[in-house]
């Protein structure tokens, strides 16, 4: 079984190509369509001043961004739990954890540092 | 008696998963890990930008200097170049050299349009006194957006060298492997750009 698979892999000389996911035309077009919709809506929200509430608009923009990143990962980068024996997904999860800790942690710590600063302790920041 | 038949039907016992583990080419996995480490660089720059995004130092605010229509056009350029890169990959799988080269050329042109628009924006900002030295906000802005733009520029140089190699040697195994790495890199840049236009531009002018 496994020796057969190896034989065909060796024979065609394109084994990296045969193994790696490269998607289909339908997949690319689906991803592109979704990406266009997920890009146009946040731009429309901002340029058309659709919502009066800036906080709600901001949250919506971030939601659309995160959804679009997932769409790109699935349809353009062809990521699933099985690519490269699952190691791609493992590396991605590890990276996402680091990214979230880094960004959320920075914003959180620096925000509280600002709040706890006495006015006048920061030079060049009139307060 | 029964154990013998059981052994015969089971055949040679296998203690490892033949299909899942041991990818035949580790290049793509290695390149993916590079992309993940590049993501961390951008995460640091996003965190820096998030902290400094309202430190104007009396200088211009995003509402005054950012042009959303230009960014919309820029976003369209990069998204279109992403799908044309996908078309190039599909032609590569079908082993059609000319069509692959054509779509790679289209990808490069849209990428160049993106870099051109971004450079025009940067020169415009510097000309109106909103250069990176003006405020912490602008420093963070130029560092984050500029790092992404540098990546796209390097991607275009890589694309040109790949096109020359494909034109001279054809779609040989080495070139298809490189193309798959390039395609990953290019789509990754589009993913980073989603974060840039959402956080820097759209949230900036709110």
pLDDT single digits (tens) A72-102: 999 999 888 887 778 889 999 999 999 999 9
Q: Which of residues 172-191 of B touch A (CB under 8 A)?
A: 173, 176-177, 180, 184, 187-188, 190-191
- Report DSSP state, residue A48: T
Q: Which of B49, B85, B40, B44 is nearest to B190 (CA)?
A: B85
Mean pLDDT throughout A16-44? 85
Where would I find the H helices in chain B? 2-10, 27-52, 62-65, 68-93, 97-127, 136-169, 173-195, 203-205
Residue B12 corresponds to which tokens in the numbers above? Answer: 């040679």
Interface test with B, best of A12, A16, A63, A100 (most B CBs within 10 A): A16
Interface test with B, best of A82, A90, A106 (most B CBs within 10 A): A106
Instruction: Check CB contact under 8 Å for A102 and B47.
Output: yes
pLDDT confidence of residue B17: 57
Residue A13 has pLDDT above 50, yes or no: no
- Report DSSP state, residue B202: I
* Distance of alpha carbon B112 from alpha carbon B78, whole angstroms: 9
A20 sits in the region (left: phi over 0; alpha: psi -120 to 50; else beta) called beta
Q: Which of B180, B194, B196 is nearest to B32 (CA)?
A: B180
Residue A52 has pLDDT above 70, yes or no: yes
Nearest 5°: CA angle at A24, between A22 and A28?
95
Residue A127 has pLDDT above 50, yes or no: no
Instruction: Check CB contact under 8 Å for B69 and A88.
Output: no
pLDDT along chain B (206 residues), means of 10: 53 60 72 95 96 91 92 96 95 94 97 97 95 94 97 97 96 93 96 96 92
Q: Rounded to 5 degrees, what are φ and ψ at B14?
A: -110, 130
Residue A11's Cβ-side half-sphere holds a number of Cα atoms within 13 Å equal to 6
Chain A positions touching B33 (Cβ under 8 A) are 91
Distance from CA of A117 to the nearest CA of B (A): 15
pTM of the model: 0.83
* Residues in chain B, overall count: 206
Q: What's the pLDDT band for A8 if we cut at 50, 70, 90?
A: very low
Distance from CA of B105 to the nearest CA of A (A): 18
A51 sits in the region (left: phi over 0; alpha: psi -120 to 50; else beta) called beta
């Amino acid at each position: 079984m496994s020796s057969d698979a190896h034989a065909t892999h060796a024979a065609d000389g394109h084994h990296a190509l045969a193994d790696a996911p490269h998607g289909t035309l339908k997949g690319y077009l689906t991803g592109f369509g979704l990406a266009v919709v997920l890009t146009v809506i946040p731009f429309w929200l901002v340029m058309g001043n659709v919502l009066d509430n800036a906080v709600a608009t901001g949250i919506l923009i971030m939601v659309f961004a995160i959804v679009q990143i997932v769409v790109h990962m699935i349809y353009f980068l062809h990521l699933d739990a099985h690519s490269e024996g699952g190691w791609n997904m493992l590396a991605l999860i590890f990276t996402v954890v680091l990214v979230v800790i880094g960004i959320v942690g920075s914003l959180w710590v620096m925000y509280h540092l600002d709040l706890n600063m006495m006015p006048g302790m920061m030079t060049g920041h009139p307060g | 008696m029964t154990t013998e038949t059981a052994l015969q039907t089971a055949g040679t016992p296998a203690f490892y998963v033949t299909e899942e583990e041991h990818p035949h080419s580790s290049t793509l996995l290695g390149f993916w890990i590079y992309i993940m480490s590049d993501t961390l660089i951008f995460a640091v720059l996003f965190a820096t930008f998030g902290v400094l995004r309202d430190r104007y130092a009396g200088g211009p605010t995003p509402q005054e200097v950012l042009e959303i229509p230009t960014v919309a056009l820029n976003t369209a350029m990069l998204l279109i170049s992403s799908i044309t890169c996908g078309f190039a990959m599909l032609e590569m799988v079908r082993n059609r050299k000319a069509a692959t080269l054509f779509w790679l050329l289209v990808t490069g042109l849209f990428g160049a349009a993106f870099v051109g628009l971004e450079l025009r924006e940067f020169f415009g900002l510097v000309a109106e006194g909103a250069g990176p030295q003006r405020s912490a906000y602008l420093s963070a802005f130029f560092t984050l957006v500029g790092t992404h733009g540098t990546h796209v520029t390097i991607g275009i140089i890589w694309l040109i060298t790949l096109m020359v190699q494909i034109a001279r040697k054809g779609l040989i195994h080495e070139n298809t492997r490189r193309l798959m790495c390039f395609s990953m890199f290019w789509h990754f840049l589009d993913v980073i750009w989603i974060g840039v236009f959402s956080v820097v531009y759209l949230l900036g002018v709110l």
